[in-house]
Chains A and B, each alone.
Chain A
Amino acid sequence: MSTEQTALPADNFFNQGGKGLMSWLTTTDHKRIGLLYMYSIAIFFSVAVILGLLMRLELIAPGKTIMEASTYNKTFTLHGVIMIFLFIIPGIPAVFGNFFVPLLMGADDVAFPRLNLMSWYLYIIGAAIALSTLVFGEGSADTGWTFYAPYSVKTGTNVSTSVFAAFVLGFSSILTGLNFLTTIHRMRAPGMGWFDMPLYLWSTYATSWIQILATPIIGITLLMIIAERALGVGLFDPSLGGDPILYQHLFWIYSHPAVYIMILPAMGVVSEIIPVFSRRRMFGYKAIAFSSLAIAFVGYLVWGHHMFTSGMSGPARIIFSILTFLVAIPSAIKVFNWLATLNKGSIDLQPPLLYSLGFIFLFLIGGLTGLVNGALATNTHIHDTAFIVGHFHYVMFGGTGFGFFAAMHYWFPKMYGRMYNIKRATRAFWVTFIGFNILYFPMFILGLEGMPRRYYDYLPEFQGWQVVSTVGSWILVTGLIMMFVNIIRGARKGKPAGDDPWNGYTMEWETSSPPPLENFHQAPVFKKPTYED
């Protein structure tokens, strides 16, 4: 702790710019918008976690346990839609990107503050439309979050509304990307060159490009589904003269790059945290910066690995397989550089670092099992099985989710000016981490044994690992509750943290905590950090 404070500074953004709900709903302050996102995302995340818990409970025994097959199918669809479109894609960029992109570069706000507020409203409208399917119409969609045609064209459930929600949310994502891209290009503090940027900005930069370039494709594709359902235009349904494989191509041309929209910001967070808690400069700064761009670029060209068994031509399968393996390399480079930064550092194992190391371990398992998916022979066996479900939960939840938690514990004292209870945060980490592995690791085994995904019921021989997995879900949720209670208590009653509790190297720690309305008391000038304590 560099300074001992007894009270928060009076000129912070919670006090400035008005009080009361209306001042928040009309704010253009990037910090308040970041918090608006955080509170809304927390609500949707909790809903989807509860849906996940119910699914796990249903699967504890073969046959009907607590719900009907049709309910189960709607549950996993809504769980996926909320987690993907309302939590993981916006997650880190919308919350921590909004709050910290300007702070990390010494700017007073993002480039387009009003557009920023509009993105949040689009997000809320999209979310409201998605959840309205629970109450109105023929019931929420039962297609899986992938909305595969022709089932999504034929089913009687409310697919059009869910798809339209994803369409609206796409615009929120595009506008956020556009905003960050302009901000990074135009608003860096005097003296901050491209290669002086904190690595989180590099990962945000790469992410923003994907958001802008790939999201319109899913927008158009989803509109095509609505046109097919409402107007009978034959695009994907063969009985109307359409091509179901075309849908899969269009869907994955967005949705695979979207995986990198999800994971790159988390990698950026980890690249901020590791140097601070090892007390040394990041090893291979440029390698990490360029590997983000490489992931964004190669990530565009690998979508076909979702379709190896769809009847794609032989050469296409081979090309997509080889490209898929190549996209693994930049991720490997990042892991090695993180590891080399820890080596010979002076390591302080605080909760942010703990979550970052948890991220590395879980992301490794997620990434390495991705190699199994990328190889043609093994893909044939595990495609569309529980193995895939395990794999993407390790990458998305173990990776992006733990990255989100790491960012939350790292930047929390800057956001609220207070500190959470460190011991409780550490305890919550271990419960979450252990629960996570008990929940998701059995899915690899189930998948290898031949248990397909999206199965409401299963053959009795699969039950053993299903039970283990369900028990894991209870432990995981216990950990999450411990974590959130600690964070909420910290925000309300924690000790004032001071401006720079972690001895950070980046510019956000130069201003007071919580920062004042326009971030810095004097217009900051970038100075290269010295990395000497």
Chain B
Amino acid sequence: MFSNASSFVEGVDIAFFIIIGISLVFLVGITAAMIYFVIKYNKKRHPKAEPTKDNFQLEIFWTVIPTLLVLGMFYYGWVGYRPMRIIPKNAIPVKVTAKMWSWSFEYENGKWDSLLIVPVNKPVKLELFSPDVLHSLYIPAFRVKEDVVPGIANVMWFKAQKEGTYNILCAEYCGQRHSYMLSKVKVLSQKEYEKWYNAKDTLAEKMMPGEILMKKQACIACHSTDGSKLVGPSFKGLYGSKVTVLVNGEKKEIIADDEYIKNSILDPNSEVVEGFPQGIMTNYSGQISEDEIKQFIEYIKTLKDD
């Protein structure tokens, strides 16, 4: 009767059934009583109301019964929840970086992906990290959710029990492209997982270092590489072009050269391209090295206008 995509589903869904079941009894009962009274004691049929006699015992009765019921609901809520906070020691650690507006997942051996890839029936521990604002990692099929809070090392875990692909959504509002901050969790068999985990990183062969970095740092969540306008200007045809920027509110024309690109990464709000919002981009100083900036620039140079 439960999907059991993760080991938490049963506990959570039992709590759902108990709470919604009891609630339905009350909702239907009270509504039916209301309708019954309105019909039976309508002033046409029942022109004289009977005087109200307070009934202290009845008051006690309908205070105590709901109290017991809600304490029962609390109990099942807690029982379903408790396992989520007890993280098995052997859980596979994955570092999750949530950024405006993408997810990235990094494994112990340095392997990196924008999808979360996990083996079936093995506990996985997610260490949540955000460099900018609040996000929340939500996997509905697994019944798990935990906020990703900048400056605080939140942790969550789960054990997937069925192979397949499930949605990951950002549940805490994080700005313009909040509803596009999606990913997937892929649950593989142990064998497939190991094959994936131990495979040599094929990305390095296919992509330039700057391109990989750009994915890891989530630049492409806001800056397209095909000329389309997202939150920030596209990288396509950027290098060497003339851009109009606002410096302290004044328009200025400059050429997008190495110096400009570097400055845009390390101090993004000093020169914002006209027509784009101020203050959206995170300051990357301290997060990206000089070498990496060079890799970026090399990659951007390849994105020429058609």
Contact = CB atoms under 8 A, between A and B. Distances in A.
Interface of A: 69-70, 73, 138, 142-144, 148, 150-151, 154-157, 238-239, 243-245, 278-285, 287, 309-311, 314, 317-318, 321-322, 325-326, 328-329, 332-333, 335-337, 339-349, 357, 360-361, 364-365, 368-369, 371-372, 374-381, 383-385, 448-450, 452-459, 531, 533
Contact of B179 (A69, A339, A361): A69
Contacts of B11: 377
Contact of A156 (B8, B34, B278): B278
28 contacts: A150-B132, A151-B175, A155-B175, A156-B279, A244-B152, A279-B49, A282-B52, A309-B171, A310-B147, A322-B74, A329-B63, A329-B67, A340-B55, A341-B52, A345-B37, A346-B41, A347-B43, A360-B34, A371-B19, A375-B81, A378-B80, A379-B77, A384-B136, A384-B173, A450-B140, A450-B167, A455-B178, A457-B179
A239 B175 contact: no
Contacts of B48: 279, 346, 533
Contact of B76 (A280, A375, A459): A375
Interface in B279-296: 279-280, 283
Contacts of B278: 138, 156
Interface in B173-195: 173-180, 182
A155 B279 CA distance: 6
Contacts of B167: 450, 459
A377 B75 CA distance: 10
B237 interface: no
B12 A311 contact: no
A343 B179 contact: no
A73 B180 CA distance: 13
Interface of B: 8, 11-12, 15-16, 19-20, 23, 26-27, 30-31, 33-34, 37-38, 41-43, 46-52, 54-55, 58-59, 62-63, 66-67, 70-71, 73-74, 76-81, 84-85, 132-134, 136, 138, 140-141, 143-147, 149-152, 154, 167, 169-180, 182, 277-280, 283
B52 A283 contact: yes
Contacts of B50: 280, 344-345
A380 B81 contact: yes
Given A284-B54, A378-B19, A342 B34 contact: yes
A150 B150 contact: yes
Nearest to A369: B23
Contacts of B63: 329, 333
Nearest to A531: B51
Contacts of A379: 77
Contacts of A341: 52
A399 to B, nearest CB: 14
Given A148-B134, A377-B77, A287 B176 contact: no
Contact of A381 (B67, B133, B145): B145
B74 A280 contact: no
A357 B34 contact: yes
Contacts of A339: 30, 33-34, 37
Nearest to A146: B173
Contact of B30 (A279, A287, A335, A381): A335
A380 B143 contact: yes
A156 B280 contact: yes
Nearest to A317: B81
A385 B84 CA distance: 19
Nearest to A459: B167
A244 B134 contact: yes
Contacts, number: 260
B143 A151 contact: no
Contact of A238 (B27, B84, B144, B151): B151
B174 A381 contact: no
A151 B30 contact: no
Contacts of A245: 149, 152
Contacts of A335: 30
- In order of increasing CB-CB distance, the 4 nearest A-B pairs are A450-B140, A375-B77, A377-B80, A238-B151
Contacts of B132: 150, 154
A371 B41 CA distance: 32
Given A284-B59, A381-B143, A325 B71 contact: yes
Given A375-B15, A377-B77, A378-B15, A69 B176 contact: yes
Contacts of B134: 148, 150-151, 244
Nearest to B278: A156
Contacts of A346: 41-43, 46-49
